[in-house]
Amino acid sequence: MTFQEILAASGFAQGELEGGAMDVHTPVDGSRIASLQTHSESQVHAVIARGREAFDAWRKVPAPRRGELVRLLGAELRAEKENLGRLVTLECGKIYQEGLGEVQEMIDICDFAVGLSRQLYGLTIASERPGHAMRETWHPMGVCGVISAFNFPVAVWSWNTAIALVCGNPVIWKPSEKTPLTALSCKKIFDRAVARFGDAPDDLLQVLVGGREVGDTLVSSPDVAIVSATGSTRMGRAVGAKVAERFGRCILELGGNNAMIVTGSADLEMAVRAIVFSAVGTAGQRCTSLRRLIVHEGVYDALVPRLKEAYSGLPIGNPLEEGVLVGPLIDADARAGMQTALDQAQAAGGTVHGGAAALTDSYPDAAYVAPAIVEMPGQSDIVKHETFAPILYVMKYSELEEAIGIQNAVPQGLSSCIFTTDVREAEEFLSDVGSDCGIANVNIGPSGAEIGGAFGGEKETGGGRESGSDAWKGYMRRQTNTVNYSRELPLAQGIKFDI
Ligand code: UN1
């Protein structure tokens, strides 16, 4: 399919994506595929005001009925899986299989949220006073602002949106300026679900197009009760401070610097497959990508040559083509950042394998690279830094405690894993003295998490949790209720206060 055909299949009319000041390029070949109009500051304020009105209506709709809208969104996504998956590939450059996987993740979270819409359970609590009942209840919060990154342009939005909607909150979405088209496509899909639903209030989902200024206006508004932001630590630091200043609620999913420990007892065959998928999948541009490999000295010489061999045969190319496993980086800046990191690693004593620019003749305006393996003498500064590119730093260890120490000695705390067949090693890694990350896996790479678990991490990753488990509580207001059904008025703590 041509780029135009991919856009047309997603329902974009001729001319719909032209005439604005914000150019959108496809990383596939670097060409311009759209020029969009951006929202002005006053337009953003108007959007927020409409979001507030939508909230006033939506919170009155019973949660299971709100779930019905999300069920319809899931149905529309099922019908649109191939088209949206292909558009994801066109706009962010991940291979088509991963584009499809991303849409599947959206479908899965819709299913999860539909069930959740009947399970927003509170608690009953034993009161210390006779004739009293205590409980904890959950209520809609208000408008939920979602800021998403280019690398998961639609799935992360859907985790937030499916849950926010069943919790009674409308959503205002500010996608990355690198991937607004997938957002506009999701809006069309969402509008179809709304039409089938029948009586939803207007403006349950609004999309903002623009750069940082648009995001700033959104996060600074006291009418945006929740800001869920995914992206770099730098972005999160700015957003978190703005939201904290007005005591808003933030859900932050920021940088990761994810490690795998391969112990002496590991199944190396499995480890190789997991390493390659986690380190080069999505061209190393997942928050959960594997960036650090900590290998027991006893298996280092058996593992690393196998990895180099696997890397040497990786099909790099147009992500729309079948059989390709490594697509392009998002843009030239990303490729330059990768090269700088490799230079720094080399200066710190690292031995670099791969990492060169690729396909420069066929795609001179795109940013393809060969994934790199870098053998490091230790965890130098550059290894502690998240470079959003397919660089795998490899280090050696001798004792598990030391390996866990290396794994934890970075500012980020998103995902981690251990490959071992020894239950003691596995349990230690998952224990209180093990991995300090939000996600810790055994015999599975750090990426590709299922939506059923809570997703997010500690330290500079921001501490937020999205998607499954009880992450929904981040989208609701908790209320403690005490009801006196007696004819007395006993005070708590036994206080006497007779008048
Ligand atoms: C991200 O990169 O921001 O676990 C999200 C994974 C995906 C989500 C990644 N399910 O790799």
Question: Which residue's structure tokens are 């230079």?
Answer: 343
The b-or-e profile of 465-493 (16+ CB within 10 A means b, else e) is bbbbeebbebbbbeeeeeeeeeeeeeeee
Cα 251 from chain centroid (whole Å): 11
Residue with the nearest Cα to atom 5 of ligand 1? 287
Residue with the nearest Cα to atom 7 of ligand 1? 448
Please give the helix or strand (H or E) that residue 395 lies within, else none. strand 391-397
How many CA atoms does the CB half-sphere of 206 hold within 13 Å? 26
Q: Find the 60 Cα to ligand 1 centroid distance in Å.
A: 33
SS3 of residue 70 by DSSP: helix
Q: Find the 288 Cα to ligand 1 centroid distance in Å.
A: 6
Two tokens at 398?
């001798």
Residue from 235, 260, 287 whose mutation best tests the ligand 1 pocket (most atoms within 8 A of CB): 287
Residue with the nearest Cα to atom 6 of ligand 1? 448
Contact in structure between 296 and 264 (CB atoms under 8 Å): yes
Q: Find the 439 Cα to ligand 1 centroid distance in Å.
A: 11
SS3 of residue 257 by DSSP: coil
pLDDT at 64: 98
Cα 253 from chain centroid (whole Å): 6
Give just the sign of the alpha carbon dihedral 109, 478, 250, 390. Answer: negative
Q: Find the 403 Cα to ligand 1 centroid distance in Å.
A: 24
- Which residues are known catalytic residues? 253, 287
- Cα gap 89→96, rounded to integer Å: 6
Q: What are phi and psi of 115, to 5 degrees?
A: -60, -40
Residue from 152, 228, 412, 461 whose mutation best tests the ligand 1 pocket (most atoms within 8 A of CB): 152
Q: Which residues line ligand 1 (CB under 6 A)?
A: 105, 151-152, 156, 230, 286-288, 447-449
Going by the DSSP 8-state scheme, the letter that residue 178 receives in this structure is T
Q: Find the 448 Cα to ligand 1 centroid distance in Å.
A: 6
Residue with the nearest Cα to atom 3 of ligand 1? 287
Query: Do the strands 415-419 and 439-442 form a parallel or antiparallel pair, or are they unpaired?
Result: parallel
Residue with the nearest Cα to atom 1 of ligand 1? 287
Cα-Cα-Cα-Cα dihedral of 30, 172, 285, 105, to 10°? -110
Query: Do the strands 22-25 and 32-36 form a parallel or antiparallel pair, or are they unpaired?
Result: antiparallel
pTM of full prediction above 0.85:
yes
Q: Find the 455 Cα to ligand 1 centroid distance in Å.
A: 8
Cα-Cα-Cα-Cα dihedral of 403, 464, 466, 435, to 10°? 10
- Could you tell me which of 458, 447, 464, 410 has the C-alpha nearest to residue 147? 464
pLDDT string in tens for the chain (499-residue length): 999 999 999 999 989 999 999 999 999 999 999 999 999 999 999 999 999 999 999 999 999 999 999 999 999 999 999 999 999 999 999 999 999 999 999 999 999 999 999 999 999 999 999 999 999 999 999 999 999 999 999 999 999 999 999 999 999 999 999 999 999 999 999 999 999 999 999 999 999 999 999 999 999 999 999 999 999 999 999 999 999 999 999 999 999 999 999 999 999 999 999 999 999 999 999 999 999 999 999 999 999 999 999 999 999 999 999 999 999 999 999 999 999 999 999 999 999 999 999 999 999 999 999 999 999 999 999 999 999 999 999 999 999 999 999 999 999 999 999 999 999 999 999 999 999 999 999 999 999 999 999 999 999 999 999 999 999 999 999 999 999 999 999 999 999 999 8
Residue from 106, 158, 288 whose mutation best tests the ligand 1 pocket (most atoms within 8 A of CB): 288
pLDDT at 14: 84
Contact in structure between 398 and 299 (CB atoms under 8 Å): no
- Looking from the CA of residue 447, the nearest atom of ligand 1 is 11
- Cα gap 162→253, rounded to integer Å: 17
- Cα gap 327→226, rounded to integer Å: 34
